[in-house]
Amino acid sequence: MTVYSLPTLDYGYAALEPFISAEIMELHFSKHHQAYVTGANTALDKLAEARTSADYGTISKLEKDLAFNLGGHINHSIFWRNMSPDGGGQPTGPLATELDSTFGGWEAFQRSFSEVALSLQGSGWAVLAWDCLGGRLGLYQLYDQQNNLPAAQIPLLQLDMWEHAFYLQYRNVKADYVKAWWNVVNWDDVSQRLDRAHSLPTDLI
Ligand code: MN
């Protein structure tokens, strides 16, 4: 069963240079992201087999495998579109207004998001999300691919802080990676995600 598949990348592997190297992009997209896609489909297959054979004792492990791998697939799918060779600068329009009212201005948001990214312990993501219940933006540290994010948060902007995302180019200097990444953020994509999140029904929860 192939439910999930690798999305298309809207730009070439070298398109985000010098901020993110082609070597990182190729490995990250074609190997790491592909592994999450394969893992999510495999978990679904095994869950179906477990139900067919009434082997319910394996379900706990398989559901964990599904959460991790589907998390990886979703996170990376958003991450690629959050970036563009034409990115960088500052957001405008309703997104800028929302960031100002929630975080106290562009600089305060940028410093907060960077701090969320740089203070992660272990592997994870910095996430700007729309909270459907509160009707507000929020920042989260997403651990591994699936932990520490409440349900019904719609991801708008994600930064991959796993070592595979930066180590070949930035080694252990995470701060330089985060500083460079701001130059490729696709604010048009983030704004469109916020627009769509705003249109979600308010009685989802
Ligand atoms: Mn990654």
Report CA(40)–ligand 1 centroid distance (Å): 15
pLDDT class of 69 with cuts at 50, 70, 90? very high
Tokens of 121: 């312990």
Q: Do 99 and 173 belong together in one domain? A: yes
Work out the average pLDDT over 31-49: 98
pLDDT value of residue 32: 98
> Does residue 1 sit within a domain?
no
Q: Do 122 and 177 belong together in one domain? A: yes
pLDDT value of residue 179: 98
β-bridge mates for residue 125, sequence order = 142, 160
Instruction: Tell me which residues have their CB within 5 A of the ion that is ligand 1.
Output: 160, 162, 165
Report CA(154)–ligand 1 centroid distance (Å): 19
pLDDT tens digits, 92-118: 999 999 999 999 999 999 999 999 999
Percentage of residues in the chain having pLDDT higher than 90: 97
Instruction: Determine phi and psi for 172, rounding to 5 degrees.
Output: -90, 5
pLDDT tens digits, 134-189: 999 999 999 999 999 999 999 999 999 999 999 999 999 999 999 999 999 999 99
Nearest-10 Cα torsion for 20, 146, 6, 53? 150
pLDDT value of residue 1: 72
- Burial degree of 80 (CB within 10 A; 0-12, 13-18, 19+): buried
- Please give the Cα distance from 39 to 66 (Å, whole number): 7
Helix (H, G, I), strand (E, B) or coil at 159: strand
Report CA(98)–ligand 1 centroid distance (Å): 28
- Please give the Cα distance from 87 to 94 (Å, whole number): 18
pLDDT class of 57 with cuts at 50, 70, 90? very high
pLDDT class of 201 with cuts at 50, 70, 90? confident
Helices and strands, number each (H, E), in the chain? 8, 3
Work out the average pLDDT over 107-135: 97
Within a 10 A sphere around the Cβ of 178, how many other Cβ atoms?
21
Report CA(97)–ligand 1 centroid distance (Å): 30
Alpha helices by DSSP H, listed for the chain, are: 22-27, 34-52, 59-81, 93-103, 106-118, 167-170, 174-181, 187-198
pLDDT value of residue 109: 98
Report CA(51)–ligand 1 centroid distance (Å): 31
CATH of the domain at 29: 1.10.287.990
Q: Do 111 and 180 belong together in one domain? A: yes
Q: Do 123 and 165 belong together in one domain? A: yes
Question: Residue 146: CB partners within 8 Å, gap ≥ 6?
Answer: 67, 68, 70, 71
Q: Do 97 and 33 belong together in one domain? A: no
Q: Do 136 and 191 belong together in one domain? A: yes
CATH of the domain at 190: 3.55.40.20
Beta-sheet pairing, 153-160 with 136-143: unpaired
Q: What does the DSSP 8-state code read for residue 30?
A: I
Q: Which domain holds residue 101?
A: 93-198
Instruction: Determine phi and psi for 84, rounding to 5 degrees.
Output: -155, 145
Q: Do 117 and 175 belong together in one domain? A: yes
Q: Do 100 and 188 belong together in one domain? A: yes
Q: Do 123 and 172 belong together in one domain? A: yes
Report CA(165)–ligand 1 centroid distance (Å): 5
Q: Does pTM surpass 0.95?
A: yes
Report CA(93)–ligand 1 centroid distance (Å): 30
Give the rounded distance of the alpha carbon of 34 from its chain centre.
15
Q: Do 65 and 113 belong together in one domain? A: no
Report CA(163)–ligand 1 centroid distance (Å): 8
Q: Which amino acid is at 48?
A: A
Q: Do 111 and 147 belong together in one domain? A: yes
Report CA(77)–ligand 1 centroid distance (Å): 10
> Does residue 86 sit within a domain?
no
Q: Do 114 and 185 belong together in one domain? A: yes
